[in-house]
Amino acid sequence: MRPPRRPPRPAPLTSEQPEGNKAGAQVPESTSAATLARVTRPALRVRRAAQTAQIERAPHATSAQDALSAAEDSDAAVIIEDGDTAYQPIEHAEPELAAPIRMSARRKERRAEHRRIRVKQALSAGGIGFAVLLALWLALYSPLFALDLNDVKVRGASSSVSEESVVAALQPFEGTSLVRLNEAKAEAAVEKLSMVRRATVARAWPTGATVTIALRTPIACVEQNDSCVAIDEDGVKLSIPTDEADALPHMVLSDSQSDAGKASTAMLEVLAALDSSVRQNVTSIAVDKNLQLTLNMSNGAQVFWGQSSENDFKAQVLGVLLAQNAGWYDVSSPRAPVTQ
């Protein structure tokens, strides 16, 4: 068996061969750079920016395909002629064959792209900021959510406190955005009405409000300047008609009463503890210097209450005792009441 045939070795470099042509392939002098470019481009393009790079022939490159594979792993530009098994590295390639990759152009493109991205981000951030400012203005200062007194509803009004008077108390808040409306201040403005004990203001979007009021209940009257002024359980003077005030239990202080404040407080506490049906039958309530209280009933009977203590329990006991026809009721000791 014959040994495999080895590929022919390249001819030694002679003076007739150019130094860059180590494969022994002659390039005709008439071949121009344009012709070389047309031959080279279909076979292999410039792989890297190396204008003066060289490669050595692969030891077993016996065809143009082998030379092409070897060149793909190299940094050099290679010319392969059609039908030639040799290849020739270009030591000084023409600019058309080995044009360097211009990194500066790529940098410019990247910088331009970065600038475009930054501009888009700036425009996006500006748009978001404008939208936020617009939303804040609409919510806080525009008439879109401003309080309109025509949209205010009042609950709990009566003949003594009309809806108009409650709405008028909110006049300083008209035009204020509901977002900025101070409910506590609005409630305090309504509670300045003498007959309003407590007020609650709730927003009613987009431009309204709901006001719920709890009225004061007159439980007694205090004689003042030849008239009787109605007061509630907190001692607040109420503006009610004179005939209605005269019908309330009159609070009477003894001439020797030194602490009118404590006496008035005690009487109010007792009257507030009574059931409304019982309180309607009380014509007056008196207190002595020892803060002992006595109730005068409309039928002429008297109720000795004692001091202002256990008032709720005493009121329950008195409600049971009044079912008995008597002229004197003593509930100062509610666990051992006395009637005469």
Q: Which amino acid is at 126?
A: G
pLDDT of residue 5: 59
Asked whether residue 117 carries a pLDDT value surpassing 50, the answer given is yes
pLDDT of residue 316: 94
Q: Give the start-to-end residue ranges of the domains of the chain.
A: 33-89, 103-140, 145-215, 220-339
pLDDT of residue 70: 52
Contacts for 312 with CB less than 8 Å, ≥ 6 apart: 273
pLDDT of residue 53: 43
pLDDT of residue 4: 55
CATH 3.10.20.310 for domain 145-215, yes or no, is yes
Question: Phi, psi at residue 25, to the nearest 5°?
Answer: -85, 130
- Rounded to whole angstroms, the Cα distance separating 249 from 286 reads 10
Contacts for 207 with CB less than 8 Å, ≥ 6 apart: 145, 146, 147, 148, 151, 178
| Local confidence band at 85 (pLDDT 50, 70, 90 cut-offs) | very low
Asked whether residue 305 carries a pLDDT value surpassing 50, the answer given is yes
Whether 214 and 158 have beta carbons less than 8 Å apart is answered as no
Asked whether residue 173 carries a pLDDT value surpassing 50, the answer given is yes
Q: Per mean pLDDT, which of 75-79, 114-118, 260-264 is the most reliable?
A: 114-118
Please state whether the peptide bond connecting residue 59 to the residue before it is cis, i.e. omega within 30 degrees of 0: no
Asked whether residue 239 carries a pLDDT value surpassing 90, the answer given is no
Q: Which amino acid is at 111?
A: R
Q: Which amino acid is at 138?
A: L
Phi-psi region of 76 (alpha: psi -120 to 50; beta: other; left: phi over 0): beta
Please state, as a whole number, how many other Cβ atoms lie within 10 Å of the Cβ of residue 215: 17
Asked whether residue 26 carries a pLDDT value surpassing 60, the answer given is no
- Tell me, what DSSP letter sits at residue 229? E
Percent share of the chain, pLDDT over 90: 37
pLDDT tens per residue across span 35-82: 544 444 444 444 444 444 444 444 444 454 555 555 555 444 444 444
- Tell me, what DSSP letter sits at residue 281? T
Fold of 220-339: Rossmann fold (3.40.50)
- Rounded to whole angstroms, the Cα distance separating 320 from 337 reads 11
Report the pLDDT averaged over residues 196-218.
Answer: 94
3-state secondary structure of 162: coil
Min mean pLDDT across 113-117, 136-140, 213-217 is at 136-140
pLDDT of residue 229: 86
Report the pLDDT averaged over residues 77-99.
Answer: 47
Question: Phi, psi at residue 141, to the nearest 5°?
Answer: -130, -15
pLDDT of residue 2: 56
Mean pLDDT of the chain: 76
pLDDT of residue 13: 45
Asked whether residue 278 carries a pLDDT value surpassing 60, the answer given is yes
Whether 92 and 54 have beta carbons less than 8 Å apart is answered as no
Asked whether residue 292 carries a pLDDT value surpassing 80, the answer given is yes
**Contacts by 103-108 with C-beta closer than 8 Å and gap 24+?**
none
Min mean pLDDT across 46-55, 62-71, 192-201, 269-278 is at 46-55
- Tell me, what DSSP letter sits at residue 177? B
| Local confidence band at 8 (pLDDT 50, 70, 90 cut-offs) | low
Q: In DSSP terms, which residues pair with 227 in a beta bridge?
A: 224
| Local confidence band at 310 (pLDDT 50, 70, 90 cut-offs) | very high
Q: Per mean pLDDT, which of 23-27, 151-155, 257-261 is the most reliable?
A: 151-155
User: Does this model's pTM top 0.75?
Assistant: no
